[in-house]
Amino acid sequence: MKNIWNKVEKSKTTYIALISIILVFIMPILFNLFHLGRTNRIIWLFFIINILFASFIGWFSKKYDLSFYNLVIFPVIFVISVFVKYGRYGYFLAGIYLVLSILIYFLFDKEK
């Protein structure tokens, strides 16, 4: 069991997945606990924080030579949460997150 945890701990993909789960499932709960409205959640969480995180994933994946599928982890987890909880606009946001991650991934060339 300890060997499995050591492998998981060293995996950067696991960190991307865990942060994605926190942003997608836990942060909206925190917004509700602090009585921040739906508009604040949409603006701050869905647009500002998630877009910054999607950009970070693109940069992080390129910097550490991670597989291209790491760019898909966050949008897929977001689509799952949208399917369960939010409106249709969430599907478009997942597409924006994916496109932004891909653009940032190709923007940072390793040779520079």
pLDDT value at 110 more than 70: no
Query: Mean pLDDT across the chain, nearest whole number?
Result: 86
Domains of the chain by residue range: 11-108
DSSP character string of 43-99: IIIIIIIHHHHHHHHHHHHHHTT--TTHHHHHHHHHHHHHHHTS-THHHHHHHHHHH
Specify the pLDDT at position 8.
Answer: 64
Contacts of 100 (CB under 8 A, 6+ apart): 51, 54, 55, 58
HSE-CB of 23 using CA atoms within 13 angstroms = 26
Mean pLDDT of all residues in 79-107: 87
pTM of this structure: 0.85
Paired tokens of 61 = 């994946």
pLDDT value at 112 more than 60: no
* Residue % of the chain over a pLDDT of 90: 44
Amino acid at residue number 42: I
Specify the pLDDT at position 11.
Answer: 85
